[in-house]
Chains A and B, each alone.
Chain A
């Protein structure tokens, strides 16, 4: 069914139509929240909260990119979660080995369809990117996640984070530079296809 028709039906209170949109966008929203929050449970909570907010505020949607509008709700939910986390810092319950060392790649994160080597590569890449994203300020992180990981264009990112286009350009450039520097430190751990070659010292 056409997305515009589903949105229109949902605006008239059709929950079934809205749930069809939820199923279409839930993976995208979850990945965005996961990259910004770096916590699966909190990301799931943020996505649920975002969809609920979106349904309640659906009449405020006036056309344009529905994807960007939805990502804006989840970005706001993530910011709320980050502020909450800052007020009440918690220790994540990561699995530990018998020696007390943290298991960074638990077995339940593994993709059952990938080979062990591919799974390891994917896990290393994800870990490196997530580590570098974690070191970015929240505003920069949201912009780079939306633009480079979710593939939104600048205008959509501007809608999603509610900032002018110039701010998006500036934040994205600086975020990329910081990520470049950070990811080069992981160069040896990354899969060969994604290994960043140091071209020059900028």
Chain B
């Protein structure tokens, strides 16, 4: 009677599970029949295996089925989603483009306006200087007219029917006294006097009274694209947001979590 080695016990275990080849099996059976220690070892292994096979089986505490959310399966998306999936990015590009275009437009417009004003200012330098100087000195020439006013006022009070011609007469008189002062009075009330001046003064002086053409160029027509592009960007962004929200809501309804 010999104690089975670990190698023999491996053979016995495999014999128990019918995992030995025919020749190994025949050889081992001879030893089992010949040696009671082999037979006892085999019996103990058999009992152990029987015991393990009778281990109580538990039922799963819950079902382990997978939900589409767990499996990462997304529901079919609406047809328009592929179109709008990039809408936010496109909207952002439009927005940046619009900002850039507006900025460039404003810069170029500013430069153009400046370059347009500069030659005019240089070409009409003497005239502007001639017109600007009296503007600054406007109060001074007014003084004689103001002082002359009481005299004319007396005549106005005396003869109300002649009120209208009075200013023209007075200004015409003052223009005779100081021709440069005619441009000093661009107020609407003095228009008759300017007309009078135009009739009585040389053409060169009348040209001075006209406003320069450069400021007209400043009132360029408004570029509508500056409003259209941001509008499109906002609309596209809103649509993309709506589609995203709708898609998410649909997915959550179809695949409630948990």
Interface residues of A (CB under 8 A from B): 13, 15, 18-19, 22-23, 26-27, 29-31, 34-35, 40, 44, 47-48, 51-52, 55-56, 111, 122, 125-126, 129, 144, 147-149, 151, 153-154, 169-170, 172-174, 176-177, 179-180, 183, 190, 194, 196-200, 202
Residue of B49, B61, B62, B65 contacting most chain A CB atoms (<10 Å): B65
Find out whether the CB atom of A52 lies under 8 angstroms from the CB atom of B70: yes
B173 at the interface (CB under 8 A from A): no
Query: How far, in angstroms, from A147 to B13 measured CA to CA in the complex?
Result: 12
- Minimum distance in angstroms from B28 CB to a CB of chain A: 13
Residues of A within 8 A of B40 (CB): 199-200, 202
Residues of A within 8 A of B37 (CB): 200, 202
- A169 touching B3 in the complex, CB below 8 Å, given contacts A22-B65, A30-B61, A52-B71: no
- Minimum distance in angstroms from B61 CB to a CB of chain A: 6
Among all A-B residue pairs, the 8 with the closest Cβ atoms? A199-B40, A173-B13, A148-B52, A173-B10, A19-B65, A30-B60, A200-B40, A180-B48
B54 at the interface (CB under 8 A from A): yes
**Interface of B (DSSP majority class):** helix
Residues of A within 8 A of B59 (CB): 27, 30
Residues of A within 8 A of B56 (CB): 111, 122, 125-126
Find out whether the CB atom of B58 lies under 8 angstroms from the CB atom of A34: yes
Query: How far, in angstroms, from A160 to B61 measured CA to CA in the complex?
Result: 23
Q: Looking at the complex, which one of A26, A55, A154, A176 makes contact with B45 (CB distance below 8 Å)?
A: A176
Query: How far, in angstroms, from A190 to B9 measured CA to CA in the complex?
Result: 25
Query: How far, in angstroms, from A195 to B222 measured CA to CA in the complex?
Result: 101
**Closest chain A residue to B47 by CB distance?**
A196
B34 at the interface (CB under 8 A from A): no
Query: How far, in angstroms, from A183 to B197 measured CA to CA in the complex?
Result: 130
**Closest chain A residue to B61 by CB distance?**
A44
**Closest chain A residue to B36 by CB distance?**
A200
B43 at the interface (CB under 8 A from A): yes
Interface residues of B (CB under 8 A from A): 3-4, 6, 9-10, 12-14, 17, 19, 36-37, 40-41, 43-45, 47-66, 68, 70-73
- A180 touching B45 in the complex, CB below 8 Å, given contacts A34-B58, A202-B4: yes
Q: Looking at the complex, which one of A30, A55, A154, A172 makes contact with B71 (CB distance below 8 Å)?
A: A55
Residue of B37, B45, B71 contacting most chain A CB atoms (<10 Å): B71
Residues of B within 8 A of A179 (CB): 48, 52
- Minimum distance in angstroms from B254 CB to a CB of chain A: 13
Query: How far, in angstroms, from A129 to B53 measured CA to CA in the complex?
Result: 11
Residues of A within 8 A of B47 (CB): 180, 196-197
Residues of A within 8 A of B19 (CB): 154, 169
- A183 touching B48 in the complex, CB below 8 Å, given contacts A22-B66, A177-B9: yes
Query: How far, in angstroms, from A22 to B55 measured CA to CA in the complex?
Result: 22
Query: How far, in angstroms, from A153 to B63 measured CA to CA in the complex?
Result: 27
Query: How far, in angstroms, from A13 to B41 measured CA to CA in the complex?
Result: 51
Residues of B within 8 A of A200 (CB): 36-37, 40-41, 44
Find out whether the CB atom of B4 lies under 8 angstroms from the CB atom of A149: no
Given contacts A125-B51, A129-B55, 5 further A-B contacts (CB under 8 A): A22-B65, A27-B57, A47-B60, A51-B64, A199-B40
Q: Looking at the complex, which one of B49, B57, B66 makes contact with A52 (CB distance below 8 Å)?
A: B66
Q: Looking at the complex, which one of B6, B10, B17, B66 makes contact with A55 (CB distance below 8 Å)?
A: B66
- Minimum distance in angstroms from B90 CB to a CB of chain A: 32
**Closest chain A residue to B3 by CB distance?**
A202
Query: How far, in angstroms, from A174 to B54 measured CA to CA in the complex?
Result: 20
- Minimum distance in angstroms from A31 CB to a CB of chain B: 5
Find out whether the CB atom of A15 lies under 8 angstroms from the CB atom of B66: yes
- Minimum distance in angstroms from B39 CB to a CB of chain A: 8
**Closest chain B residue to A121 by CB distance?**
B56
- Minimum distance in angstroms from B11 CB to a CB of chain A: 8
Can you list 19 A-B pairs with a CB-CB distance of less than 8 A?
A18-B66, A30-B60, A30-B61, A31-B58, A35-B55, A51-B66, A52-B66, A126-B55, A126-B56, A129-B52, A169-B19, A173-B13, A174-B10, A179-B48, A196-B44, A199-B44, A202-B40, A202-B41, A202-B44
